[in-house]
Structure 1
Amino acid sequence: MLGASGVGKTSLTCQFTTSEYICAYDTSLDEEFGQKTVSVMLDGREAELEIVDHPASEMSVESYCTTYNPDVFVVVYSVVDRKSLKVAEDILLFLWKGDYVASRGVILVGNKADLERKREVPMAVGRKLANSCGCKFIETSSGLDHNVDELLVGILAQVQLNPRRDKDRLRREKKQKVRMGSGRRILRHLLGIKRKSRSCENLLVL
């Protein structure tokens, strides 16, 4: 779990671990950060996920990546805090430059969607950012337990898709070696433009 302070990473993590409603805006939850294990059932198979949640002030994104080397990055921002979106954008840029987006699942999460009257970040803006970075996107509300289960299942699905992601990457690299990339292809790569558009909101597929 990555993102600015106060966006609800710990609230989401706590909600992952229980089917009961929790008061997501209870400030005492801020002391519940750390590593938690969650059991998830998908397609009749049970799996255990280890969710790593550290305060943004305690660990940089670079240290987080090298320390834990996670299978999936969940980058959270608050839809009522435009500054938190900029933090999320910077994190996504780091992950993209470090080739994590190509080799690992990355999900951009707009949390606190229940606070509609205070919204500063339209859903379309979050979706556009996810599309530009080639990652997945979902809006959640840990306060109303909205889309929390969908996010958790999506995290597991993206973990399970990593072997296919690696195969696709190797196949693309072989094609690039054969074709010796034209200037146009290089430009496409630098701008992050993808030839085939994929739904960023279907967390169950690549």
Structure 2
Amino acid sequence: MEEYLLKVVVVGDMHAGKTCLLLRYCDDTFQTDYKSTIGVDFKMKDLERDDCLGKLQLWDTAGQDRFRTIVASFYRGAEGLVVVYDITDRSSFEKVTWWIEEARYYGNDSCIAMLVGNKTDLEMKRQVSTKEGEALAKQLGIKFFETSAKNTSNVKEMFDTMADTIIARKKILSGQMHPASGQTGGIVDIRSTSVLSYSEWCAGYVDGSYCAML
């Protein structure tokens, strides 16, 4: 049975819940009193599919600016990028395009990107609507999930979707699968994608340009 190594980098502002998402997915645990990631941390998840095995490498990056030089080197070789924001913190949502730009600068020519709005268990404190997240993901041409590491909502589905999409892409590139038979949505050329600034995106959101799917 063929085995695939899948490297995924998880980025986003400090306190967006990146580490909690990884702990929930890999260890099925949730911690309320954890320390912020220093530099880069690493988790591994073994996956078994009908016709292959996967080793999902999840690189948990620090959101603080002082670690940017360290984190930048880990974009190289990444096949997946998960950009996480906190739905209760609008400033973390406003940084999404900045994270995409950084990945485009330091990363591979192409990778599978995903936008994730975390902490849906704090619905009463929500500052970013689901429609805003969906609209931004549509503008970027990537997949979108809302998750909660605390109550497990969509965490497994989100990471499994990322892994399965990378595996499908590997099979297509190796000739094992025809594009029509695989799920390849979310594959973007992050070097050539036109990424709007948050203010430019907001203007489009307000006038309805990015609301066609809503």
TM-score, normalising length: structure 1: 0.69
Matched with 2:86 is: 78
Separation in 2, partners of 1:190, 1:146: 31
Distance 1:161-1:66 versus aligned 2 partners, 3 A rule: farther
Give the stretch that moved more between structures: 117-126 or 102-111: 102-111
Q: Alpha-carbon deviation of 1:49? A: 0.7
Q: 2:30 aligns with which of 23, 26, 34?
A: 23
Separation in 1, partners of 2:138, 2:173: 17
Structure 2 residue ranges without an equivalent (≥5): 1-9, 176-192, 197-212
More helix per residue: 1
Separation in 2, partners of 1:86, 1:159: 27
Q: Alpha-carbon deviation of 1:31? A: 5.8
Matched with 1:128 is: 135
Distance 1:166-1:114 versus aligned 2 partners, 3 A rule: farther
Give yes or no for the alignment of 1:10 onto 2:10: no
More strand per residue: 2
Matched with 1:204 is: none
Separation in 1, partners of 2:117, 2:63: 17
1:113 touches 1:141 (CA, 8 Å); kept in 2?
yes
| Matched length | 167
Q: Where does 1:151-166 land on structure 2 (aligned, <5 Å)?
A: 151-163=158-170, 164=172
SS in 1 for 2:46: strand
2:37 touches 2:60 (CA, 8 Å); kept in 1?
no
What amino acid does structure 1 have at the position aligned with 2:95? V
Matched with 1:41 is: 48
Matched with 1:109 is: 116
| CA RMSD, Structure 1 to Structure 2 (Å) | 3.0
Distance 1:48-1:96 versus aligned 2 partners, 3 A rule: same
Q: Which has the larger radius of gyration?
A: 1
Structure 1 residue ranges without an equivalent (≥5): 168-188, 193-199, 201-206
Separation in 2, partners of 1:75, 1:165: 25
Q: Percent identity?
A: 25
Q: Alpha-carbon deviation of 1:63? A: 5.5
Separation in 2, partners of 1:165, 1:135: 20
Matched with 1:178 is: none
SS in 2 for 1:28: coil
